[in-house]
């Protein structure tokens, strides 16, 4: 910094005229002032250089502070220990989910008005209850355990007390599904094993996956409950195909006359996220004569979503060998039907829903796979005949003569239809409230009332709260 001083002195020496014109005292004062100014500039430059050096040192420092480094190491050890503990306890890759849906149902013909929750849906073992469209899978609780193993294998166990698929055929069984999906070579080809719920149609068993409380007629009366066996799943692009061999609605077949396993399949095509279609089939009872007889169920279904609108539909066909309990001159019962559901999102949390079902069921006395026609009636000629399924409205029509009800024509069944309207409201995340009004009707008097009379229709009202996690 002596450069500045030398410059000042040289400048003074180069100007003798000015120096001579001034007195010695004046020159000395001016030189002192100039020196002070130079010293001030030197101090400012030194301060700036020091600040620059400190900033550069901080920018180049890459080693964290000792406390920060220790904390990072501690968190890393803790995370590794948690992962090891989860793997050792079997929790790694495990997902737990489920729901409950306490429900209120009022049935006009039955004269009942009750909350429905965890009750049975089968009369097996003297439960005092029976399957009906007003007593299916709603009013239930489900717990799902999904585990993905190393290598891509998946295991699913679903528990559903009193209401699961197997509860009506194996009384006291809590297991709704117990299945495994094992990759064969790659993830798109898999081996399927275990007990798997029926996969036909556009509706599902869990209440969390359905818009309305009740299910459509085809779901309840023209489909199996579950399959037990083994099969394959093939995923190829937008196609998803599944096929199984095994038992239908049975954990084990004890009938010595039924030795051939059933065949169950489903094929889905996902055209896009907003549309797709599928088809499925169930073929069982190939060598059975008395229990279910030969049974063939086939259906196609699809969905389409656009904006606030959602449309789903299904067409089904079924035929069943007439059993000893229902052989009205016909060797087979045949039926076909349709179902369509439309929903519209009125608000982000509120859906309005409407569903229409119809089953053409005139042959073979009106029996369908899911209906129960019981003995105990007589036809107009006085011969013994099966009574209609008075709870569900299937079977031959009844006529009132001389103070008594008779089967009008044991060989003719009534066609069945249903119209349901309802709403679904998302109260808070994980909680939905559903309401439904359902009107069921038949082309003959097949619905039985509480006082023993027969009508052509029935009305059901229901409200449900679905709480899921």
- Joined together, the tokens standing for residue 373 give 């026609």
Alpha-helical segments (H) within 276-369 = none
> Which stretches within 16-151 are classed as H helix?
16-21, 24-60, 66-89
Q: What is the per-residue pLDDT for 24?
A: 66
Mean pLDDT is lowest, of 60-74, 84-98, 134-148, for 60-74
Average pLDDT (76-90) is 75
Q: What percent of the chain has pLDDT over 70?
A: 88
- Predicted local distance difference test score (pLDDT) of residue 65: 53
User: What are the tokens at 88?
Assistant: 């050792």
Question: Could you give phi then psi for residue 45, rounded to 5 degrees?
Answer: -65, -40
pLDDT bucket at 13, cuts 50 / 70 / 90:
very low
Query: What pLDDT, in 10s, does the model give residues 182-205?
Result: 999 899 999 999 999 999 999 999
Highest mean pLDDT among 9-18, 368-377, 405-414: 405-414
Please give the mean pLDDT across all residues of the chain. Answer: 88
∠ CA 29-35-39, rounded to 5° = 150
What span, in angstroms and rounded, lies between the C-alpha atoms of 278 and 3?
92
pLDDT at residue 86 above 90?
no
Question: How confident is the model over 47-59, as a mean pLDDT?
Answer: 71
State mean pLDDT over 434-446: 98
What would the pLDDT profile of 303-336 be if each residue is shown by its tens digit?
999 999 999 999 999 999 866 555 555 567 899 9
DSSP code per residue over 78-111: HHHHHHHHHHHHT-TTEEEEEEE--EEEEETTTT
Residue 91 confidence (pLDDT) above 70: yes
Distance CA 209, CA 177 (A): 16
Weakest-pLDDT range from 62-76, 139-153, 426-440 = 62-76
The answer for 373, left when phi > 0, alpha when psi is -120 to 50, beta otherwise, is beta
Q: Tokens in use for 268?
A: 């889905």
C-beta separation of 117 from 102 below 8 A: yes
Whether the CB-CB separation of 436 and 442 falls below 8 Å is answered with: no
């Amino acid at each position: 910094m002596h450069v500045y001083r030398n410059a000042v002195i040289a400048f003074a020496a180069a100007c003798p005229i000015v120096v001579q014109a001034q007195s010695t005292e004046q020159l000395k004062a001016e030189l002192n002032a100039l020196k002070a100014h130079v010293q001030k500039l030197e101090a400012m430059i030194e301060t700036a250089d020091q600040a620059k050096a400190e900033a550069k040192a901080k920018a180049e420092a890459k080693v964290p502070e000792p406390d920060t480094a220790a904390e990072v190491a501690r968190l890393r050890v803790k995370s590794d220990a948690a992962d090891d503990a989860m793997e050792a306890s079997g929790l790694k890759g495990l997902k737990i989910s489920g729901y409950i849906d306490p429900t209120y149902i009022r049935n006009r013909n039955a004269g009942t008005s009750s909350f429905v929750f965890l009750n049975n849906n089968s009369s097996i073992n003297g439960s005092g209850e029976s399957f009906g469209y007003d007593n299916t899978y709603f009013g239930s609780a489900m717990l799902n355990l999904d585990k993905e193993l190393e290598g891509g294998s998946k295991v699913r166990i679903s528990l559903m007390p009193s209401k699961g698929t197997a509860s009506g055929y194996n009384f006291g069984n809590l297991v709704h599904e117990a299945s495994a999906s094992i990759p064969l070579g790659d993830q798109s080809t898999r081996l399927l094993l275990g007990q798997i719920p029926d996969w036909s149609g556009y509706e599902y068993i869990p209440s969390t996956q359905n818009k309305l409380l009740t299910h459509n007629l085809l779901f309840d009366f023209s489909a199996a409950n579950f399959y037990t066996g083994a099969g394959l799943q093939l995923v190829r692009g937008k196609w998803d195909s599944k096929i199984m061999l095994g038992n239908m609605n049975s954990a084990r077949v004890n009938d010595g006359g039924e030795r051939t396993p059933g065949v169950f399949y489903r094929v889905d095509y996902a055209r896009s996220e907003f549309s797709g279609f599928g088809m499925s089939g169930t073929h069982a009872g190939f060598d059975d004569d008395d229990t279910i007889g030969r049974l063939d169920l086939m259906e196609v279904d699809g969905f389409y979503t656009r904006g606030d609108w959602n449309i789903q539909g299904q067409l089904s066909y079924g035929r069943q060998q007439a059993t000893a309990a229902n052989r009205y001159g016909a060797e087979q019962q045949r039926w076909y039907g349709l179902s369509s559901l439309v929903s519209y999102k009125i608000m982000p949390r509120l859906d309005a829903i409407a569903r229409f079902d119809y089953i053409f069921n005139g042959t073979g006395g009106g029996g369908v796979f899911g209906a129960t026609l019981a003995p105990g009636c007589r036809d107009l000629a006085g011969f013994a005949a099966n009574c209609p399924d008075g709870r569900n409205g299937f079977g031959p029509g009844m006529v009132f003569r001389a103070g008594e009800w008779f089967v009008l024509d044991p060989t003719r069944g009534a066609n069945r239809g249903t119209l349901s309207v309802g709403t679904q409201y998302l109260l808070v995340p994980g909680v939905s409230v559903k309401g439904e009004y359902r009107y069921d009707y038949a082309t003959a008097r097949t619905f039985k009332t509480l006082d023993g009379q027969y009508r052509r229709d029935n009305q059901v009202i229901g409200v449900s709260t679905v709480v899921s996690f």
